[in-house]
Amino acid sequence: MIPSLQPIYNNLRGLYNNQEFKIIEEAFLFAENKHSGQKRKSGEDYILHPLRVAIEVSKLKLDLSSVSAALLHDILEDTNTSSEELKDKFGEEVLFLVESLSHLNRLKHKANYKNKTIGRLENLRNLILSSAKDIRVILIKIIDRLDNMKALWALSPEKQVENAEETLEIFAPICRRLGFNFLGQQLEEMSFPYVYPKDFAEIKNRVNNYYYEIDKYLDEARDELANFLKQKRSKFIEIQFRKKTFFSIYKKYKKEGDFNKIYDIIALRVIVDTVADCYTTLGLVHQLWLPLPNRLKDYISLPKVNGYQAIHTTVLTNNNQIVEVQIETDLMHKNNEYGIASHWLYNLNKDTKSYTKRQNVSGLSILFKSLKNIDFQNTNSGDLYNLLVKDLLAEQIFVVTPKGDVIDLKAGSTPIDFAYKIHTSIGNNCKMAKVNHQLVTLNHKLQSGDIVEIITDRKQKPNKKWLEFAKMAGTKEKIRKELQKL
């Protein structure tokens, strides 16, 4: 074994018992032999890359087939290994995963689009369609991209920007949409300096000194809160603190337009046992520190579209510091960081009805259903970008129909967007809308948790003015098509 492999290899060994590791070790030794002598552009031995990918896949608690596929994910492309040999050695399931990953890479390399945007969006389509049958494909691909981003320095400046742009526009938003926030943050942070170098330098210079100064204060605030909760005999598992990433600050700054309006640059995270403990802790936090008005967000009662759950409150501490406090259970914390799929999706037998039901309601399934009828080759690149990056992968809200069905929409959507999301005919005949049982204008901006009811009239036809306030590209496309018929 190459000496540099040993520490990483031992790391992987430590995650499994002896029987489990024998299965993984077989895949590792096979991959090591096949990649023998191969080097990455960074100069390191090639086998280090799939080994690191396998370790990260293991941390997501996926099954042994996923870990084996991570070790073997480049073997069909970069070695003389055949599909038959792989199947005989590791079985059909591992072969399916490896072939799916290799197929994605072959499609990307074959694609010869004059417009980079179309090529990038075609790659997104292939990524999601290839993953529709099995979410493990997209998870391994995300981890593969994460490791490749760490070696971006070894590529040409042009390739650095190209890969970072694709990561920022496609891979990071997919992570967010599927609930893998921890992975999405890493991809964003690694891409930021390459895609927006000036903005990165500005944010870094502005925040670095503040971060340096605030570490000591956060320790003190954490201790103060912990002591207060103990004094009140309130149970908690752990109190963490986090500092907002540079790219997250950049996005918030672009949205708010004022650096001083970003109140969650620093945050305390209180992890407790039960949902009841979350609300008890919220009351105690407000006893200790002054809550700021209109800054309470209950994502437990109304989870985000990607499944994120927690209570957020912003407070003014006794040292006159503005801090966001996030309160969540231990299970919520795990799901919020790594996504629900990594914790329960693959604990189920793939042939059961329960597995199929959970697979169908995943964020991946929603993306797949939205993509399957799009004609990528014959759609204008600008429209494609709006449909995919600005609609499907954008920040989402959810609203509720009068029957209790939850509908996901792009943030900032209006009743017109809601109507067309329900059905084209509902949109075309939309006359009025009620939000939370009150009549509103059709350009009213919806918020997560709103109950929305559309009142239709067969005589009503789409109005050209709707295009001015419709938020979603899919809505505008349907309105335009109907206007052409009038």
DSSP symbols for 134-197? -HHHHHHHHHHHHHHHHTGGGS-HHHHHHHHHHIIIIIHHHHHHHT-HHHHHHHHHHHHHHHSH
Question: Considering 299, 323, 338, which residue would you say is the last residue of a domain?
Answer: 338
Domain identity same for 35 and 116: yes
* Whole-number pLDDT of residue 289: 97
Torsion from C-alpha of 136, 140, 145, 150, nearest 10 degrees: 140
CATH of the domain at 410: 3.10.20.30
**118 inside domain:** yes
Question: Considering 321, 338, 355, which residue would you say is the last residue of a domain?
Answer: 338
**88 is known as an active-site residue:** no
**225 inside domain:** yes
Identity at 334, one-letter amino acid code: K
Domain identity same for 262 and 125: no
* Whole-number pLDDT of residue 353: 45
Catalytic residue among 26, 77, 337, 395: 77
**128 inside domain:** yes
Q: Per-residue pLDDT tens, the chain, 486 aa: give them.
A: 666 677 777 777 777 888 888 999 999 999 999 999 999 999 999 999 999 999 998 887 788 899 999 999 999 999 999 999 999 999 999 999 999 888 776 655 544 444 565 566 666 666 666 655 677 888 899 999 999 999 999 999 999 999 999 898 888 887 877 777 888 899 999 999 999 999 999 999 888 777 777 777 888 899 999 999 999 999 899 999 888 889 989 988 887 777 777 777 888 999 999 999 999 999 999 999 999 998 899 999 888 766 789 999 999 998 888 899 999 999 898 888 766 454 444 444 444 443 443 344 344 455 555 555 555 555 555 555 555 555 556 667 778 888 877 787 888 899 999 999 999 999 999 999 999 889 999 999 998 778 899 999 999 999 999 999 999 888 998 999 999 987
Q: Is the dihedral of CA 364, 152, 183, 449 positive or negative?
A: negative
From the list 449, 409, 450, the residue with the least C-alpha distance to 433 is 450
**257 inside domain:** yes
Domain identity same for 308 and 433: no
Domain identity same for 150 and 47: yes
**207 inside domain:** yes
**280 inside domain:** yes
Query: Rounded to whole angstroms, how far apart are CA atoms 263 and 322?
Result: 6
Query: Rounded to whole angstroms, how far apart are CA atoms 225 and 241?
Result: 12
Backbone angles phi, psi at 66, to 5 degrees: -65, -45
**78 is known as an active-site residue:** yes
Distance of CA 251 to the CA centre of its chain: 15
* Three-point CA angle 151, 156, 162, nearest 5°: 80
**14 inside domain:** yes
What's the half-sphere exposure (Cβ side, CA atoms, 13 Å) at 424?
9
- Cβ-in-10-Å burial (0-12, 13-18, 19+) of 474 comes to buried
Partners of 55 in beta bridges: none
Domain identity same for 319 and 403: no
**283 inside domain:** yes
CATH of the domain at 118: 1.10.3210.10
Domain identity same for 204 and 147: no
Note the residue count of the chain. 486
CATH of the domain at 219: 3.30.460.10
pTM of the full structure: 0.72
C-alpha distances (whole Å) from 397 to each of 54, 188, 260, 287, 358 are 34, 21, 25, 31, 21
Residue 270 · residue 325 · CB < 8 Å: yes
Query: Rounded to whole angstroms, how far apart are CA atoms 126 and 104?
Result: 7
Domain identity same for 135 and 216: no
Query: Rounded to whole angstroms, how far apart are CA atoms 27 and 89?
Result: 9
Number of structural domains found in the chain: 3
Catalytic residue among 26, 78, 122, 477: 78
Domain identity same for 271 and 127: no
C-alpha distances (whole Å) from 405 to each of 346, 422, 430 are 26, 10, 19
Domain identity same for 105 and 211: no
Tokens representing 443? 């350009």
Question: Considering 129, 158, 187, which residue would you say is the last residue of a domain?
Answer: 158
Domain identity same for 9 and 94: yes
Query: Rounded to whole angstroms, how far apart are CA atoms 337 and 125?
Result: 25
Domain identity same for 402 and 325: no
C-alpha distances (whole Å) from 197 to each of 85, 187, 256, 393, 477 are 46, 15, 21, 23, 35
Domain identity same for 212 and 268: yes
Domain residues for the domain of 314 are 198-338
